[in-house]
């Protein structure tokens, strides 16, 4: 297991270097830079950016330097000083902006992950064991519906239901009267009343996808010779199903960790906009539109690193769950 883990860790180093280069290249691809966007915005408002201010910003952020120099300044500050630079658009350090948005994003994403696993696991097992039953058809229909309907549309529907039938303003995570109030049981209750909406919305597609994958994998395992042999020897059906086929069919739950972790940073920008959630999704969207390269680059880089770290966690978890994975190495 240690050799397997060592191999996976060694692969991370060149991967992370390549990710940092690709991330910087991607944020440099759009024509122009932040100053171009700023000048166009001021021109649309009938104003102009003073030449002295343009020169000061160009010198301050090294925008007149070669791309390789800009890349080295960016990545060296991150590695040696933990400094992601300063946001052009907000005129604030990127670290402080992320510190404001990350707690809510991570909390919602982790709770959503628990929701996805808690709901999809029993339903997926039930659908496989009771194949073609009324329950299986019902969950299959709901699963396809969850995959097909966009999250932002579900958000609009739930906001309307909450306002129409429960008198709940679903925008944000707190009602207006509690946003600046000190913490109390009433404020906690209001927070919980608002949190379920983004959790259900973000978890719908993931839950539906996990149900379909778990059902298909478990059906495949239940037809294999070792299951038929276990039944022939009189092993109790429930014990046999849980100990072997379900354990193997759970591989996708662990292998998708690499996809889940980036969601801790990226979030769903459109849904967050609809629900007025102060997550990193809208922050990323605004940074891309404004060509705020340090802010956009920080979020892209963190998301990409989380993909790599999540893949490592998935590999280790799969190696523990399924010996065939680690024995292959």
pLDDT higher at 211 or 63: 211
Radius of gyration of the chain (CA): 24
Measured in whole angstroms, how far is the alpha carbon of residue 71 from the centre of its chain? 26
Q: What is the pLDDT of residues 281-311, one digit of tens each?
A: 888 888 888 778 788 888 888 888 888 887 8
Q: What is the pLDDT of residues 138-188, one digit of tens each?
A: 998 988 888 888 888 888 888 888 778 877 776 777 777 777 777 778 877
245, 227 contact by CB (below 8 A)? yes
**pLDDT value of position 123:** 93
SS3 call for 87: strand
- pTM for this entry: 0.78
**Does position 82 have pLDDT exceeding 90, yes or no?**
no
Could you tell me the pLDDT band of residue 323, with boundaries at 50, 70 and 90? low
For all residues of the chain together, what is the average pLDDT? 81
Residue by residue, DSSP assigns 189-235 as HHHHHHHHHHHHHHHHHHHHHHHHHHHHHHHHHHTSHHHHHHHHTT-
210, 116 contact by CB (below 8 A)? yes
């Amino acid at each position: 297991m240690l050799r397997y883990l060592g191999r996976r860790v060694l692969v991370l180093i060149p991967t992370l270097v390549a990710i940092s280069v690709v991330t910087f290249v991607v944020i440099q691809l759009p024509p122009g830079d932040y100053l171009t966007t700023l000048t166009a915005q001021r021109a649309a408002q009938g104003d102009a950016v003073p030449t002295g201010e343009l020169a000061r910003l160009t010198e301050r952020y090294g925008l007149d330097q070669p791309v390789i120099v800009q890349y080295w300044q960016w990545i060296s500050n991150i590695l040696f000083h933990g400094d992601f630079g300063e946001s052009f658009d907000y005129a604030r350090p990127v670290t402080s902006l992320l510190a404001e948005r990350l707690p809510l994003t991570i909390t919602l994403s982790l709770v959503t992950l628990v929701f996805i696993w808690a709901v999809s696991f029993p339903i997926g097992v039930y659908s496989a064991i009771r194949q073609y039953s009324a329950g299986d058809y019902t969950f299959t229909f709901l699963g396809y519906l969850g995959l097909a309907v966009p999250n932002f549309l579900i958000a609009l529907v739930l906001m309307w239901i909450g306002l129409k039938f429960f008198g709940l303003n679903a925008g944000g995570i707190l009602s207006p009267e509690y946003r600046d109030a000190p913490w109390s049981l009433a404020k906690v209750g209001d927070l919980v009343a608002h949190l379920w909406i983004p959790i259900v919305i973000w978890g719908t597609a993931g839950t539906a996808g996990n149900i379909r994958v778990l059902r298909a994998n478990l059906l495949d395992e239940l037809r294999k010779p070792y299951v038929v042999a276990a039944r022939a020897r009189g092993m109790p059906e429930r014990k046999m199903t849980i100990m072997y086929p379900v354990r193997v069919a759970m591989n996708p739950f662990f292998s998708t960790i690499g996809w889940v972790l980036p969601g801790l940073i990226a979030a769903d920008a459109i849904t967050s906009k609809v629900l007025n959630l102060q997550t990193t999704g809208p922050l990323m969207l605004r940074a891309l539109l404004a060509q705020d390269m340090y802010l956009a680059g920080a979020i892209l880089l963190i998301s990409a690193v989380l993909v790599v770290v999540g893949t490592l966690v998935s590999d280790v978890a799969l190696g523990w769950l399924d010996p065939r994975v680690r024995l292959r190495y």
